[in-house]
């Protein structure tokens, strides 16, 4: 992690800022968004498989011109909301090692191999937690999650608050919008300095987790 953090020193040769919103499984779509230096949305796409993402990135631009942020997908093996409701009256008699719990353990390892592959190509790659960044930038819509009105609100507030241009007038899917947030974090890493425009909030599989601020 320290090696990656030390590499952040004005990426003069960077012009392609990528965000990847990973789904927990290949059954659900993942989003990819690309921004340029002027915060123009160059493209958004949807894929399902990790191999498709890898091929997409390798054909997108030269490896030394990109900064990529990959979202942390939730662990689909964790207890679902239904069972949390069933267990809400359960009382624990004893809780051990609470201080040793790591908040990044709630996320899936899906995408870790992709990050290792891209990192081996010497692409500057980071992880991000989209929900954390939405709170940090006040991007959470006051509507039911994943509803059309919530997606429309998020699309408008990303366009207005983050000053991202080139967003289609048509409604983008949520994975696309989450990928745009990841691309924005990549741009902030290039544009600003640590603790001024972005900060490190953790580490997952030896890669730093970054958020815009």
Domain chopping of the chain, boundaries = 11-75+106-212
Question: Which residues is 127 bridged to in the sheet?
Answer: 70, 209
Q: pLDDT tens digit string along 17-34?
A: 999 999 988 888 999 999
pTM metric for this prediction: 0.86
Mean pLDDT in the chain? 85
Residues 6+ apart with CB under 8 A from 48: 23, 26, 27, 28, 29, 30
**CATH of the structural domain 11-75+106-212, one choice from 3.30.450, 3.30.420, 3.30.1890, 2.60.40:** 3.30.420
User: What was the pLDDT predicted at 40?
Assistant: 97
* Predicted confidence (pLDDT) at residue 169 exceeds the cutoff of 80: yes
Tell me what the mean pLDDT of segment 165-189 comes to: 94
Among 43-47, 103-107, 150-154, where is mean pLDDT lowest? 103-107
User: What was the pLDDT predicted at 87?
Assistant: 47
């Amino acid at each position: 992690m320290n090696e990656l953090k030390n590499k952040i020193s004005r990426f003069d040769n960077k012009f392609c800022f990528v965000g990847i919103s990973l789904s927990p499984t290949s059954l659900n779509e993942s989003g990819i968004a690309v921004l340029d230096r002027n915060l123009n949305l160059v493209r958004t796409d949807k894929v399902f498989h990790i191999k498709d993402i890898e091929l997409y990135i390798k054909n997108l631009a030269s490896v030394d011109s990109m900064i990529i942020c990959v979202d942390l997908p939730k662990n689909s093996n964790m207890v679902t909301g239904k069972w949390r409701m069933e267990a809400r009256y359960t009382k624990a008699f004893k809780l051990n090692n609470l201080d040793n719990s790591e908040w990044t353990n709630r996320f899936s390892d899906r995408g870790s191999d992709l990050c290792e592959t891209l990192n081996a190509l010497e692409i500057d790659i980071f992880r991000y937690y989209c929900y954390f960044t939405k709170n940090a930038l006040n991007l959470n819509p006051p509507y039911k999650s994943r509803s059309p009105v919530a997606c429309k609100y998020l699309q408008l507030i990303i366009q207005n608050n983050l000053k991202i241009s080139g967003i289609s007038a048509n409604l983008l899917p949520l994975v696309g919008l989450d990928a745009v947030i990841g691309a924005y974090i990549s741009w902030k890493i290039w544009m600003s300095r640590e603790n001024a425009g972005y900060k490190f909030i953790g580490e997952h599989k030896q890669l730093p987790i970054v958020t815009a601020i």
